[in-house]
Structure 1
């Protein structure tokens, strides 16, 4: 019978390439190529997975998966690898290759000469080695997890992939840290994830038509362009992960959660925080707000007073409705007229010589206490809802508890807003010409200044009156 030609494939892998140069893979390649050459086999292809672990069965190994498909298709009948643990650390995968050696005559050769899957002794050795290797990897994983927990408990920087803004040793990367700080501040002041993401990526403002109107989505001017490590644009989920990370407020963390000591107190980290507690807590409040729509385009406020001005009848926040501000059943006012009055008031206030008195120092401890009180009121509503569902209280009592808690939350939120004017608002107030700084600011910053300086309530314009009734736009200085 004619001899069946041996068509060989080589598989190369290292779990972690520290330098990115692929030197370990090249050393494996040289040894495996020597085997193919010395035996006179025909080399079909070299499959390489660089810096990819074989321990995690969920993690994809593209070259390995392609090699399996090629073997199934009959493209090669010999496989050369440097060591069995380079091929796989999964006993189930090893059994597949053992089946291939027994039933299909696959020649599997290792460069260290230890494996021969065509003999019972070789198969037993391979199974024992795979089991030992997997057990060692599990012990190693447990040791690493324990070490990470110990580091976190002492407030030391976590190992692994570095966070944007920090080195692996927890030192600040100035340019990145400044960008991360701007991201937190912009979101705390009302900018959306999408607009912040677009600003980081260097995108232009989004312009789109809405009937007879042209709407422009302002991008927060305070957020600089920051290239990603991959060179690809930023995405909202990445920005969301940054905003949720307690590391940026100087809290020790593990698996995304703040680490606490034996008393339950959060552990302060050794590294320098990028944002103060107050800003971080405000960001968490916004992210937790169920009324914040995050899954659609256009979550930014496009108009100066929408969600900021109030109805003088019911104190509800007015919404934009075409060219007007509207509170259903109570108020319908021209946006341009109202905005002109409000902007005129703000310009006069910004021109005052005593403007510095409006600057309020942020008290992070006080902000933290307010946030805890808000959380306690929200928990009170949750407990009342659970009691109502369990028929422990009736609907009237549930409504009473909910209304009281929501009223208290509104009061606490208002107090917090007075304390945390926001860095962008502070920058405008402390500028050489606050009026010019305000005029040059983006929509988010202008809204922050208006909210800081005054409350605006609207009533319906008197019927039949063509001139503006100043009493129909009630502006109360803060």
Structure 2
């Protein structure tokens, strides 16, 4: 099994990084008398961020634990260009080694040679690689944070996508866009709804810097960003000059005055959308909405793509107008797999709490708390993740067919013993 991963692919967007790694893996496998029977890739996927999606790595671990690939090929080991391509977090190291050593006689191969994953030295080498990767990640993150901060206190514009309202240099105002932003701020302070402003922009044929159509969320971000009045923010905080306590001014031309910016921010309730609202409130980044459905992201798509591979994309809950179900879980990647939300949640509960006590996966106390309603959604999701890697959902057939719980196929964690009869 050959695995390749790159953290970024935003320049060429052609997957050249993973292709080069796979070529090296082929050469390494040939040099050590091995044959690659399956390829797994994660292009542009971080391995150091908590909660980052790595479908290729997840499939690799699942196939290792199962002992065969999706097409029935037996697996005897893994080849990779370096440890940090596979894991940069202790959780991933644990998952990988548990799956790799779940059967005897397997090997791990890299350009340095063949390793015995069952020996103490093999495990210690993996732990040392993890410590090196973690240290490297922290040092690089700190260096990058300091670089951004130093640029920010000098008033240098953000290095990301060009902001709406300015030319490509991020300093000179864009005559048309800046006028729209100023008018939107005035209108919003005067009581106009953001949705109405977004519709007005759409009617004028306005598009964002990435080509998207304006919506209330993007309009809100634009008109409440500190940069509209010339203020510089960094990592969700409004930067202040240490000597005076005054906001750091950016090097770009401003659209409105600070008083106007504070007034438009005050028209929003605190914590709404992606920013703290209110007068002088700093912009926040990285705020992710909590899942509203039990199995969102835990379910994986089992539909086959045109090339024969399994999609394995996340199924996320969404509210729908349907007589059959108030919400469905639908694949966001291929859109070819959808399943009833409430019935799937019930199937998950039956997997966790089978009728036969001998097949119980969790303590009785957990069952009682779950059934009594004492456990909130977030804790329920953590309980599911403690025993399941994911659940693969097979696509349903056409027509109004009866509910088939066998469509939900659990993938148990390696340190758990799958209970007999739990699938039914």
TM-score of the aligned structures, taking structure 2 as reference length? 0.54
Alignment match of 2:7 (pick from 8, 15, 19): 15
Other-structure match for 2:85:
86
1:49–1:179: structure 2 CA closer, same or farther, 3 Å change rule? farther
Q: 2:261 aligns with which of 262, 276, 280?
A: 280
Structure with more relative contact order (C-alpha pairs < 8 Å, separation 6 or more): 1
CA deviation after TM superposition for structure 1 residue 260, in Å: 0.9
> Which structure has the highest helix share of the two?
1
Instruction: Write out aligned runs for 1:26-425 (5 A).
Output: 26-36=19-29, 39=33, 41-44=35-38, 46-76=39-69, 77=75, 78-105=77-104, 106-113=106-113, 116-166=116-166, 170-172=170-172, 174=174, 176-202=177-203, 224-227=205-208, 229=210, 233-262=213-242, 263-288=244-269
The whole-number CA distance in structure 2 between the counterparts of 1:186 and 1:48 is 49
Distance 2:134 2:219 in 1: 36
Q: 1:99 to 1:173 in 2, by over 3 A?
A: farther
- For 1:104, what is the secondary structure of its paired residue? coil
Give the structure with higher Rg (CA): 1
CA deviations on 1:264-305 (whole Å, 9 max, x unpaired) are: 111111122233334323311222599xxx99xxxxxxxxxx
Deviations 1:95-117 (A, max 9, x none): 32223333324433224547553
Q: Distance in 2 between matches of 1:166 and 1:196?
A: 19
Name structure 2 gaps, 5 residues minimum.
70-74, 274-278, 282-424
Whole-Å separation in 1 of the counterparts to 2:201 and 2:49: 33
**Map of 1:419 onto structure 2:** none
Please state how far the C-alpha of 1:90 moved relative to its aligned partner. 0.7
CA distance, structure 2, for counterparts of residue 261 and residue 240 of structure 1: 27
Report the number of matched residues: 265
The 1:14/1:156 distance shift into structure 2, 3 A limit, reads: same
Post-superposition CA distance 1:400-442 (Å, at most 9, x none): xxxxxxxxxxxxxxxxxxxxxxxxxxxxxxxxxxxxxxxxxxx
Name whichever of 98-107 and 19-28 sits farther off: 98-107
Residues 221-274 of structure 1 deviation map (CA, whole Å, 9 limit, x = unaligned)? xx6521462x55444333322232101211011123321112311111112223
**Unpaired segments of 5 or more residues in structure 1?**
1-7, 203-222, 296-370, 376-478
> Shift of residue 18 of structure 1?
4.4
CA RMSD, aligned part only?
3.3
Describe the shift of the 1:100–1:252 C-alpha distance in structure 2 as closer, same or farther (beyond 3 A).
same
TM-score (norm 1): 0.48
